[in-house]
């Protein structure tokens, strides 16, 4: 047996990002850039108004002493008053420059007319249609978005390694970028094995005696998709070398980048996965890891394609995926951050382990009033009890040398979701 840390290092050392491909912008979300992206246009393309109001010349409103300018007509109150000569809507340009003593009604986003250096917000005027009186001079020289203040044509927008999220998509669209070069999403083969397995669509309580539904393909498909991969379900192989050989041969035809199998890697009489793997030219790197659940785990390569062989127990397969397969898929996809960040947790009850293996216990982690995360063991820890996994939001990591851990002990937990720290109320007042 090797340690969890050593297994992770040995696996990831043999994994490289996949080749880059052209990806249209509508399918770019979640992908990782393989090349820098340059802007194809300037944003904003011209000076434009950030307010509904009036485009004016500040020299028409104040003198050097910040007093109302004598060039502006006045009304009885002495407030600056300007002649309204045009209205500029968003999507239109002014037909002429702004002259002395003039104002142009302007809408948010509309181009600033030549000669104007200020937009007075409409609230600071009397909203005049032919002549407008300015009632507040707080916005002198303001409310203009300058051309190129976001980015200019030819500017580098994002560097390689950037994951494209919602804001990135908006920037790329605004910059007239129609496609990106991103690392290819890995195609991940899933193969379950076992004479006892039946697919959900074929299951019937009356005719499926001694059979159980193949749940692993459902959990692994979703986990692969969530990690950024494309699942390729090869179905179920029987507990015979010929059936396993036939299914594993499909991985070449499907051109997959990673193979994940569940079951058949232990030492039972019908566990043929490792022998068939070797027969097909597979190179085994290691087998068995000092962990529970998931100790009978194998890693190697089959004709250059990495292979992760998990236990057939549903929880074992999911735990092994979170610890080993998710980082592999993320590295193949071009990510630099491969692992979910561990969080410190306080045990809500005593936890003991019977064997000197690193234990990954299903746990429910919540934040206490003192700001510390509390960890409650989420039901049975049997590797066949999948409902406990559904109730868990983290894996409590109990080190191999920590046989007894009283309540209040601080350990670490590996989040299973992004929910930790989220609340049902809005904190900003």
Q: Which residues contact 235 (CB under 8 A, 6 or more apart)?
A: 191, 192, 199, 217, 247
Enter the pTM of the model: 0.89
Q: What values do phi and psi take at 175, rounded to 5? A: -90, 10
DSSP assignments along 268-333, one per residue: STT--HHHHHHHTT-EEEEE-BSEES--S-EEEEETTEEEEEE-SSHHHHHHHIIIIIHHHHHHHT
According to the model, what pLDDT value does residue 74 have?
44
Chain CA centroid to CA 125, Å? 46
**CB 177, CB 39: distance < 8 Å:** yes
According to the model, what pLDDT value does residue 76 have?
42
Query: Left, alpha or beta for 166 (phi > 0: left; psi -120 to 50: alpha)?
Result: alpha
pLDDT tens string for the chain (429 positions)? Answer: 999 999 999 999 999 999 999 999 999 999 999 999 999 999 999 999 999 999 999 999 986 555 566 555 444 455 678 999 999 999 999 999 999 999 999 999 999 999 999 999 999 999 999 999 998 989 999 999 999 999 999 999 999 999 999 999 999 999 999 999 999 999 999 999 999 999 999 888 877 778 899 999 999 999 999 999 999 999 999 989 999 999 999 998 999 999 999 987 876 666 788 899 999 999 999 999 999 999 999 999 999 999 999 999 999 999 999 999 999 999 999 999 999 999 999 999 999 999 999 999 999 999 999 999 999 999 889 888 999 999 999 999 999 999 999 999 999 999 998 878 777 788 787
Per-residue DSSP letter, 112: P
The residue behind tokens 């990831």 is 12
The residue behind tokens 């990591």 is 397
């Amino acid at each position: 047996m090797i340690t969890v840390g050593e297994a992770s290092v040995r696996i990831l050392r043999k994994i490289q990002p996949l080749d880059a491909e052209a990806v249209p912008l509508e399918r770019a979300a979640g992908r990782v850039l393989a090349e820098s992206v340059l802007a194809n246009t300037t944003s904003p393309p011209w000076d434009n108004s950030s307010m509904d109001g009036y485009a004016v010349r500040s020299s028409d409103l104040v003198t050097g002493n910040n007093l109302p300018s004598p060039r502006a007509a006045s009304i009885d109150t002495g407030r600056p008053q300007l002649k309204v000569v045009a209205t500029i809507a968003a999507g239109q340009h002014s037909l002429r420059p702004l002259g002395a003593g003039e104002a142009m009604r302007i809408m948010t986003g509309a181009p600033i007319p030549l000669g104007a250096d200020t937009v007075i917000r409409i609230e600071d005027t009397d909203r005049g249609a032919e002549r407008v009186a300015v009632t507040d001079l707080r916005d002198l020289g303001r409310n203009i978005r300058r051309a190129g203040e976001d980015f200019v044509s030819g500017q580098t927008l994002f560097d390689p390694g950037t994951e494209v999220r919602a804001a990135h998509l908006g920037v790329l669209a605004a910059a007239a970028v129609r496609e990106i070069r991103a690392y290819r999403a890995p195609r991940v083969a899933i193969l379950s094995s076992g004479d006892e397995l039946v697919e959900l669509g074929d299951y019937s309580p009356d005719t499926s005696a001694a059979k159980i539904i193949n749940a692993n393909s459902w959990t692994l498909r979703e986990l692969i998709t969530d990690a950024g991969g494309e699942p390729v379900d090869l179905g179920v192989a029987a507990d015979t070398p010929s059936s396993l050989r036939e299914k594993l041969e499909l991985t070449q035809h499907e051109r997959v980048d990673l193979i994940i199998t569940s079951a058949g890697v232990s030492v039972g009489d019908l566990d043929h996965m490792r022998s068939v793997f070797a027969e097909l030219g597979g190179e085994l790197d290691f087998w068995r890891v000092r962990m529970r659940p998931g100790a009978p785990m194998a890693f190697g390569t089959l004709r250059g394609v990495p292979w992760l062989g998990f236990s057939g127990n549903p929880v074992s397969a999911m735990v092994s995926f979170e610890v080993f397969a998710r980082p592999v898929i993320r590295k193949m996809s071009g990510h630099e951050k491969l692992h979910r960040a561990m969080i410190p947790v306080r045990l809500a009850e005593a936890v003991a382990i019977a064997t000197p293996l690193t234990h990954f216990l299903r746990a429910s982690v919540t934040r206490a009033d003192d700001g510390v995360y509390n960890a409650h063991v989420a039901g049975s820890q049997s590797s066949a009890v999948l409902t406990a996994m559904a109730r868990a939001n983290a894996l409590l990591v109990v080190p191999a040398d920590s046989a007894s851990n009283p309540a209040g002990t601080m350990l670490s937990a590996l989040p299973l979701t992004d929910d930790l720290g989220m609340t049902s109320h809005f904190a900003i007042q």
